[in-house]
């Protein structure tokens, strides 16, 4: 396959940035998208240029590092997978591919296609955990958990925190990410204890980091590589409401 790439190049967070055009030739349709970028980078290094910086780690679709906005869609044209798992056969020979970094105030560009997703870490720090006393691990089956709840929690916990939901959202809202984190604990007995505090702290952190609001456009759900459902957003809306109501009741 021969392709024309339009890639966002930006020296550093302060630089202005611009689109650069590159041609790549003889790419196998079985190559992954990131392998195609590797080939481009080798080409650039041979020519004495600066390789394109992009995030990647496991290349197995589980680490959440890769973050490319391709032809108007996070993680490219295929659904339910990360960009590292997407193959070049999703594109036509001779086509032009526009590659941009995630765009959000909360995700500043570090270099080229790499963005800083520290905002997600801040949200997790705010309440994406359960507090347990250290000591020997408790028996796994001491607390009975209905299978449906375990499944729901597991579906939510599938979130890899890549930020595609923010990238896809017209408002750069992090609701799907935050709600998945709230949900994965909220439906389990271990997570219920701190549920109210968690919902409030994580929503506050989300607002503070500069993410937008939810318009229920559901682009997040459509683009999530782990197919996280917007029903988790509704659950978070409920959790937050209950937290607020019970909080004022306590006062």
Partner 1 sequence: MSKFIHYSSLTKKYIMSIAGFFLMMFLIVHLGINLFILPITENHEDVFRNGVEFMTSNPLIKVMEVFLFAAFIIHIIYGAVLQIKNWMSRPVRYRIEGWSHTSFFSKFMIHTGIIVFIFLVIHLMNFYLVKEGFTEALSGPVTVENNHDFYHMAINLFTNTTYSVIYILFIVLLGFHLNHAFQSAFQSLGWNHSRYTPVIKAIGNIYSIVIPLGFILIPLYFIFLY
Could you tell me how many residues of this chain bind partner 1 (CB under 8 A)?
47
Other beta carbons less than 10 A from residue 36's beta carbon = 21
Dist CA 165 CA 75 (whole Å): 10
Taking alpha carbons only, the member of 75, 133, 131, 124 closest to residue 100 is: 75
Closer residue to partner 1 in complex, CB, 138/192? 192
108: Cβ contacts below 8 Å, ≥ 6 apart: 13, 115, 116
Binding partner 1 (rule: CB under 8 A), the pick from 219, 225, 226, 228 is: 219
Dist CA 70 CA 220 (whole Å): 15
Cβ-in-10-Å burial (0-12, 13-18, 19+) of 78 comes to middle
DSSP code at position 235: H
72 binds partner 1 (CB under 8 A): yes
Closer residue to partner 1 in complex, CB, 21/25? 21
DSSP code at position 139: P
Binding partner 1 (rule: CB under 8 A), the pick from 5, 68, 214, 228 is: 214
73 binds partner 1 (CB under 8 A): yes
**Which one of 26-34, 44-52, 132-140, 200-208 is the stretch in contact with partner 1 (CB under 8 A)?**
200-208
Binding partner 1 (rule: CB under 8 A), the pick from 33, 54, 69, 91 is: 69
Binding partner 1 (rule: CB under 8 A), the pick from 74, 128, 161, 163 is: 74
- Give the x/- contact pattern for partner 1 in 8-27, rule: CB under 8 A: x----------x--------
Asked whether the CA dihedral 78, 83, 84, 88 is positive or negative, the reply is positive
**Which one of 30-38, 59-67, 187-195, 206-214 is the stretch in contact with partner 1 (CB under 8 A)?**
206-214
90 binds partner 1 (CB under 8 A): no
Dist CA 107 CA 110 (whole Å): 9
36 binds partner 1 (CB under 8 A): no
114 binds partner 1 (CB under 8 A): no
User: Burial code of 102-117, b = ≥16 C-beta within 10 A, e = fewer?
Assistant: bebebbebbbbbbbeb
**Which one of 27-35, 44-52, 137-145, 240-248 is the stretch in contact with partner 1 (CB under 8 A)?**
240-248
Kindly give the interhelix angle for 147-157 and 175-186, rounded to the nearest 10 degrees.
150
185 binds partner 1 (CB under 8 A): no
Site residues (vs partner 1, CB under 8 A)? 6, 8, 19, 69, 71-74, 98, 100, 103-106, 168, 170-173, 203-204, 206-207, 210-219, 222-223, 230-231, 233-241, 244
């Amino acid at each position: 396959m021969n392709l024309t790439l339009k890639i966002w190049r930006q020296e550093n967070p302060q630089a202005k940035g611009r689109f650069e055009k590159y041609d790549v030739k003889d790419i196998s349709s079985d190559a992954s998208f990131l392998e195609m970028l590797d080939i481009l980078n080798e080409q650039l290094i041979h020519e004495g240029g600066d390789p394109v910086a992009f995030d990647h780690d496991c290349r197995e679709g589980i680490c959440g590092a890769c973050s490319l906005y391709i032809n108007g869609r996070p993680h490219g044209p295929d659904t339910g997978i990360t960009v590292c798992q997407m193959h070049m056969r999703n594109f036509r020979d001779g086509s032009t591919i526009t590659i941009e970094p995630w765009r959000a105030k909360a995700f500043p560009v570090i270099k080229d296609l790499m963005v800083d997703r520290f905002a997600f870490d801040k949200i997790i720090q705010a309440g994406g955990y359960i507090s347990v006393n250290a000591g020997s691990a408790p028996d796994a089956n001491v607390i009975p958990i209905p299978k449906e709840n375990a499944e729901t929690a597991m579906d939510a916990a599938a979130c890899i925190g890549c930020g595609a939901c923010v990238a896809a959202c017209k408002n750069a809202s992090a609701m799907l990410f935050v709600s998945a984190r709230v949900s994965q604990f909220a439906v389990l007995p271990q997570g219920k204890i701190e549920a109210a505090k968690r919902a409030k702290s994580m929503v506050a952190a989300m607002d503070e980091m500069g993410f937008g609001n939810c318009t229920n456009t559901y682009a997040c759900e459509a683009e999530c590589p782990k197919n996280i459902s917007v029903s988790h957003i509704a659950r978070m809306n409920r959790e937050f409401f209950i937290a607020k109501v019970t909080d004022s009741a306590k006062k």
